[in-house]
Structures are given as C-alpha cells and as structure tokens.
Amino acid sequence: MLFRNSLGEFEEIVMLTIGVLAGNAYGLAIKMEIEKRLGRSVSMGALHTGLYRLEEKGYLRSKLGEPTKVRGGKPKRFFQVTAKGQRILKEAMEGRQQLWKDIPDGVFKLFPSKP
C-alpha cells in the first residue's frame, strides 16, 4: 500500500535533514542544512510549526540541551526521528521507488532507459 500514512514534502525534508544532522539537529541547524542542500529558503516559523506538528504525530521527539551564553542562557531544542518516524520515511521512500520503477520506458525522455 503506497503512502498509508500521509507525509508532506516539507515534513519529509525536515525529517531527512534531522537524520543527516545526526544528533546535532536543532532549529537553526536544520534550517541552514535545508537551505544549503536544496537551495530553498525556509522560515523559522514554518520550520518550528513543522517540527512541533511532526512531534505531535509521534514522528519526532525532542529534548533540551544545556543553556549557552551565546543564546543568552537559552538551551537549544534537539530533535530526533522516532522509530515511528523512521517507518513512515521508509514507506514514503519505498512508495516513491515503486512509482519510479513502474514508469514505462520512454515516458520520461530526459531520463536514461532502465538497465
């Protein structure tokens, strides 16, 4: 079954970026990594909304780090993808891979034919 649990493109990008950052995934780092890798601007408001929505769905969990002087004594909130989040990402990846495999040869002329 494809995309049993709906995951939006931005949500998927955020979760994958958290994986890329491996333990150092806090708001600003996530924003900067998305912008660097995808060349797309991300507002902190949209990012925080997405992060908290994903946490409510059970796809992410977060914890506060130690307060830092650089942040005026405020701690960073670090995010991690949960087992449930990893399952939904795997389903999304497999669904997309299946769609790519099922495209008949020659439909997308810009892509090389299947081996």
Ranges of each domain in the chain: 9-102
Indicate the pLDDT class of residue 3, thresholds 50, 70 and 90: very low
Q: Spell out the CATH class of 9-102.
A: mainly alpha
**What 8-state DSSP symbol labels residue 53?**
H
CA distances from 113 to 29, 42, 54, 102, 105 (A): 38, 35, 37, 12, 6
In sequence order, the β-bridge partners of residue 84 are none
Helix pair 9-21, 27-38: axis angle to 10 deg = 110
CA distances from 52 to 4, 37, 69, 98 (A): 21, 22, 25, 30
Tell me the pTM.
0.83
- Token code pair at residue 76: 């960073």
- Which tens digits make up the pLDDT trace of 78-110? 999 999 999 999 999 998 899 889 988 878 776
What per-residue confidence (pLDDT) applies to 5? 62
Asked whether residue 15 carries a pLDDT value surpassing 80, the answer given is: yes
